[in-house]
Amino acid sequence: MRCDFSLCRRRSAWLKTAWLLFTAFFAAAILQPWQARADSIWGPATSGPNFTGTAEVEPLGSWYYEPWAYGYHDLRYGTWELAMPQRFAIGLGHQLEFDFYPNFILNTAQPPTTPPGKSATDIGLGNIHFEFKYGLTTDADTYHLLARPALSIKTITWIPTGNYQNLNPAAYNTDQFGNGTWNQGIGLLFRKRFKPFELYGEIDEIVEFPTEVHGGYQFNNGIDQLPFGQSLHMTDGNLLYWGFAFEHVINAEYGLGYVLEFTGQWQNRNNLFFGHANAPPWSYWWASPTVEATWPSTQRYQVTWGLGALLPVYEWKFPQSIGPIFTVTFYFNGKYGRRGE
């Protein structure tokens, strides 16, 4: 059966119109929930990883204070170092954040580092460091893994405030709280949320400036020591720092969840600006599982809690470290809310 040309053209136009309307209706029905999710942001306040930074920056007027503590215990040498960084971070606006880290250290030495029946303990201020972080991108969709992640870059500066000179032989190196070098680094940070999970990543390249050290000085691998009576114009190799973490938020209201984190450092035999290094190279790779919770939590104020452990995966010319980790963070949110919102 053949139809009139004009009638067939009208029927074809009707069919095309119906098909377009159906397609538009179907797409709207299917995509509307996805669009609604993309327009909302998922991201509860949680403790997060211990050694891997977050790519989001604090908004203007928002800030937080994070005291935390983690211990290094080397069973071979009977040494214990408890690091107690105190982190202050504030949003400066224009996607900028400033972080300031004073660090207090408690050192303890027992046999075989000390003679039988003797021990030594000392506490002091370690090296201070500060960072400027700039947000490059924000998380485009906090419900889907393949959406654009949050990225940021940062500069890192260490100031050698920790004691590293005039060391007392009777202290068995517990009176050293820094390595005496000015350090400058740059870093790249990554974060991706896809409810109820989060991924974090960080990689930093750090240049350590030469310094003069004297007898009793312990190199930054925590093992080798310059004999008393000697001096050295010391050059450390470049330092590569990295961290990666996976977080599962089980209950968003109370920030309940867990974090599986891996972190490490590698100091090589050459310095980018100062040539061959005469300080020993070393590297390590740690695992850091943590459980977390948030309480109290309001729009303007949150407190997050984390309890975990530091477990050695691989260590080369570095202490065989194992120990606990505890952190608490006090968030004070300004009129622009929390980071990542």
Q: What is the pLDDT of residues 129-182, one digit of tens each?
A: 999 999 999 999 999 999 999 999 999 999 999 999 999 999 999 999 999 999
The verdict on 116 and 157 lying in the same domain is yes
Q: Are residues 132 and 214 in the same domain?
A: yes
How many domains is the chain partitioned into structurally? 2
Does one domain contain both 29 and 103? no
Average pLDDT over residues 181-199: 97
Q: Do 18 and 83 lie in a common domain?
A: no
pLDDT at 14: 54
Q: For residue 23, give its domain range.
A: 1-39
Give 227's DSSP letter: P
What one-character-per-residue DSSP string does 35-95 give?
HHHHHS---------SSS--S--PPBT-EEEEEEEEEEEETTTTEEEEEEEEEEEEEEETT
% pLDDT > 90, the chain: 80
What pLDDT, on the 0 to 100 scale, is given for residue 238? 96
Determine contact, residues 201/189, Cβ cutoff 8 Å: yes
Is residue 8 over pLDDT 80? Answer: no
The tokens for 173 are 């190196």
Supply the pTM of this predicted model.
Answer: 0.86
Same structural domain for residues 17 and 113?
Answer: no
* Whether pLDDT at 99 is above 60: yes
| Interval 224-233 mean pLDDT | 95
Span 104-125, mean pLDDT? 95
For residue 101, list its beta bridge partners. 129
For the chain, the straight-line distance linking the first and the last C-alpha, in angstroms and rounded, comes to 63
Percentage of residues in the chain with pLDDT exceeding 70? 88
25 lies in the same domain as 118:
no
Residues 34, 130 within the same domain: no
> For residue 341, is it within any domain?
no
CB 311 within 8 A of CB 322: yes
Asked if 72 and 21 sit in the same domain, the reply is no
List, in sequence order, the alpha helices (H) in the chain. 5-39
Chain-wide mean pLDDT for the chain? 89
Confidence of residue 225 (pLDDT cuts 50, 70, 90): very high
Q: Are residues 323 and 301 in the same domain?
A: yes
With 50 as the cut, is the pLDDT of residue 109 above it? Answer: yes
Q: Above 60 in pLDDT, residue 261?
A: yes
Same domain, 150 and 184: yes
Higher pLDDT, 323 or 219: 219
Q: How confident is the model at residue 41 (pLDDT cuts 50, 70, 90)?
A: confident
Domain check: are 147 and 184 in the same one? yes
**Segment 263-311, tens digit of pLDDT:** 999 999 999 999 999 999 999 999 999 999 999 999 899 999 999 999 9
The string of DSSP letters for 245-263 reads: EEEEEEETTTTEEEEEEEE
Between 32 and 219, residue with greater pLDDT: 219
User: How many other CB atoms sit within 10 Å of the CB of residue 324?
Assistant: 13
Instruction: Identify the burial level of 35 via C-beta atoms within 10 angstroms of its C-beta, where 0-12 means exposed, 13-18 middle and 19 or more buried.
Output: exposed
Task: Kindly state whether residue 338 falls inside one of the protein's structural domains.
Answer: no
Q: How many other CB atoms sit within 10 Å of the CB of residue 311?
A: 13
Q: What is the pLDDT, as a whole number, of residue 322?
A: 86
Q: How confident is the model at residue 27 (pLDDT cuts 50, 70, 90)?
A: very low
CATH number at residue 69: 2.40.160.40
Identify the weakest region by mean pLDDT among 38-42, 147-151, 282-286, 335-339: 38-42
Clarify whether residues 120 and 26 are in a common domain.
no
Does the structure show a pLDDT above 60 at 9? no
pLDDT-wise least confident of 97-106, 194-203, 295-304, 329-338: 329-338
